[in-house]
Amino acid sequence: MKKNIMNHVLGVMIFISIVMVIVFWVMESEKFREQAVQEANLIIKQTIRYVEELEEELEAGQEEPFDASTTASLEFITSLQIRDGRTLFIADGKSGQILASTNSSLIDENLSLLKISLKEVEQYMFGKTVGQFFNKNLYVLRRDGDLIYGVRELTTSVYSERMERTVLFAASAVILILVCAVVLNQSIQNQAVSGIDQITEKVKEIADGSLDTSVEVENNLELQQLSKSINKLIRNTLKSTVKISQVIDMVDLSIGVFEISHALKRVTATEQLRHVLLWSEEEAQALYSNEEYFMARLARIRELPTYADVDGYQISTTPQRWVRIHMTDDGEHIVGVVMDVTDEVLERKRIEFERDHDVLTGLRNIRTFKHDVSEILLQKAIVKQGAFVMFDVDKFKEINDHYGHDWGDDYLRMFARFLKRMEEKGMITARRSGDEFCMFLYGFESVQEITAAMDEFYQMVKANEIRFPDMTSRSISISGGVALLDWNCEDIYTENMRVADRVLYVMKENGRGSYTLSNQVSLAKEQPFD
């Protein structure tokens, strides 16, 4: 009997410890946020002081007064050293244009692109979070004269130490529970008096999830006090659950907690749980009222596509939503935590995309191209008749020199869009380097079909003229070399790519703006190729 009481009380204490850890998590989040805002305000204050000193020096040495247009005088900001994840910037208070920043990519951008309105600058003095998913930032802004000073910091940087401190707190809570369990067990053994059966029954109901149960014992002073303490503990637990749910909503912490009593077959959950899992209020109440339905729904979630590195399940594609589920079952109760890990998944995907793709065009880089093509070549039945294609943008150097490198980059991006249309048809494309691109065609029945596909591609490029900075319009001119797939090679990928290089060389020697196939030219071994 005493052992059963101890087990049930321990279950309640474990539930309370989870609540305490969540409260600590929320409090740490707020503390780190306040610290980040204080540091940002200090940086802004120091920067304002420096600019004012610089203004006095400039006004003393020149006839024109210092104003927001004197952007050259603000270039000192680019040399400032601040921690990773944090960006300092100065913007024109009237136009919103960013005049200087420790992140050069922000210079000349406008605050409106950061979703900041000039009319709402005062609202950012004490910090405001802007953005979604992995692009969420904490902004602190202050207006001083004609300038707006701001600090932007990634929320992942703001809360970088939160997990470590929470783990330490959780470990302390576990130790405290063990100590309390030992003390409580000794107390029960020493004070086994009349009324223990009544308390045992009530505590069992509470531990099974019936938190509205009231413990009342009148025949023993000690047990009366114990019953009052248990009732107070349960009331505080219920209040804490509601408060934690409200606090989680306030700090945008996407985490839900649930507890299941096998005896009552009922689910107790925080309000945030249904929001994390995208359930309506009616749907959530129906699931909470039946343990089997609830567990069946979680089982279906755990059969959804996963992202292994994050241990998350994709419960929605539009918008994307990924969740992580952790549960423990002691045979009588199941305690679970569901966390929204969408930001983490999207951040990892972004990093993987940048690793595997060309930053300028968004196409595969040559390393990824080789990997993907090599995987396809292992499935000869799928490849059928294939071809390697090398493209060279004609006279790109002249375009770059005449219109500038920025326009040259735009020119390459425009051509990349045509290649992406070929990707939509199942082909594999990539930017090799500079103005060179490559493509792998496969799944055709004959050389004639490959020729038709190339003709269609060139017709598409020629039909879509582009407007140049000098207001002239013409289509992009490209030269192409097509190496019909030769399976009789020791290294199929490398040798076929070399043939495509040679064919492209021949094409450029005999005229540009079109393509030729490897079976239409004579390839001398001494011909150069990249």
Q: Where are the domains of the chain?
A: 25-158, 194-343, 357-520
The fourth-level CATH superfamily of domain 357-520 is Reverse transcriptase/Diguanylate cyclase domain (3.30.70.270)
Q: Are 323 and 340 in contact (CB under 8 A)?
A: yes
**How does residue 129 score in pLDDT terms, banded at 50, 70 and 90?**
confident
Q: Does the 25-158 domain belong in CATH 3.40.190.10?
A: no
**How does residue 529 score in pLDDT terms, banded at 50, 70 and 90?**
very low
Q: How far is CA 8 from CA 197, 337, 435, in A?
A: 14, 21, 71
State the distance between the two ends of the chain, measured CA to CA, in whole angstroms. 83
Residue 71 above 60 pLDDT? no
d(CA 201, CA 274): 32
Residue 7 above 80 pLDDT? no
Residue 444 confidence (pLDDT): 94
Coil, strand or helix at 97: strand
Q: How many helices (H) and strands (E) does the chain have?
A: 15, 18
DSSP at 397:
H
d(CA 152, CA 370): 39
Residue 526 confidence (pLDDT): 43
Rg (CA), the chain: 33
Q: Which of 87-96, 194-203, 443-452 has the lowest mean pLDDT?
A: 194-203
Residue 366 above 80 pLDDT? yes
Residue 397 above 50 pLDDT? yes
The alpha-helical segments, DSSP class H, found in 76-195 are 155-158, 162-190
**How does residue 130 score in pLDDT terms, banded at 50, 70 and 90?**
confident
Higher pLDDT, 367 or 106: 367
Q: Which of 52-56, 349-353, 376-380, 391-395 has the lowest mean pLDDT?
A: 52-56
Q: How far is CA 215 from CA 16, 223, 232, in A?
A: 18, 10, 10
Q: Which residues contact 87 (CB under 8 A, 6 or more apart)?
A: 101, 102, 103, 106, 151, 152, 153
pLDDT in tens, 242-293: 565 555 555 556 788 888 877 767 788 888 888 888 898 888 888 888 888 8
DSSP β-ladder status, 333-340 and 428-433: unpaired
DSSP at 110:
B
pLDDT in tens, 457-475: 999 999 999 899 888 889 9
Q: Are 440 and 389 in contact (CB under 8 A)?
A: yes
Q: Are 359 and 285 in contact (CB under 8 A)?
A: no
**How does residue 194 score in pLDDT terms, banded at 50, 70 and 90?**
low
Residue 1 above 70 pLDDT? no
Q: Which residues contact 392 (CB under 8 A, 6 or more apart)?
A: 435, 436, 478, 479, 480, 504, 508
Q: Which helix (H) or strand (E) covers residue 273, if one does?
A: helix 272-276
d(CA 140, CA 39): 10
**How many other β-carbons are positioned within 10 Å of the β-carbon of residue 241?**
20
Q: Which helix (H) or strand (E) covers residue 492, if one does?
A: helix 492-510
Of the candidates 206, 214, 307, the one whose C-alpha atom is nearest the C-alpha of residue 259 is: 206
Higher pLDDT, 7 or 27: 27
Residue 527 confidence (pLDDT): 47
Coil, strand or helix at 386: strand
**How many other β-carbons are positioned within 10 Å of the β-carbon of residue 90?**
23
Output the average pLDDT for the chain: 80
pLDDT in tens, 24-41: 777 877 888 888 888 888
Residue 446 confidence (pLDDT): 93
Query: Hey, which of 51-60, 109-118, 388-397 has the most confident mean pLDDT?
Result: 388-397
Q: Are 34 and 126 in contact (CB under 8 A)?
A: no
Query: Hey, which of 195-204, 286-295, 305-314, 501-510 has the most confident mean pLDDT?
Result: 501-510
Handedness of CA 148, 153, 159, 161 (dihedral sign): negative
Q: Which residues contact 358 (CB under 8 A, 6 or more apart)?
A: 364, 365, 430, 431
Interior/surface letters 148-180, b for 16+ CB within 10 angstroms, e for the rest? bbbbbbbbeebbeeeeeebeebbeebeeebeee
State percent of the chain over pLDDT 70.
79
Q: Which residues contact 505 (CB under 8 A, 6 or more apart)?
A: 481, 527, 528, 529
DSSP β-ladder status, 515-517 and 478-484: parallel
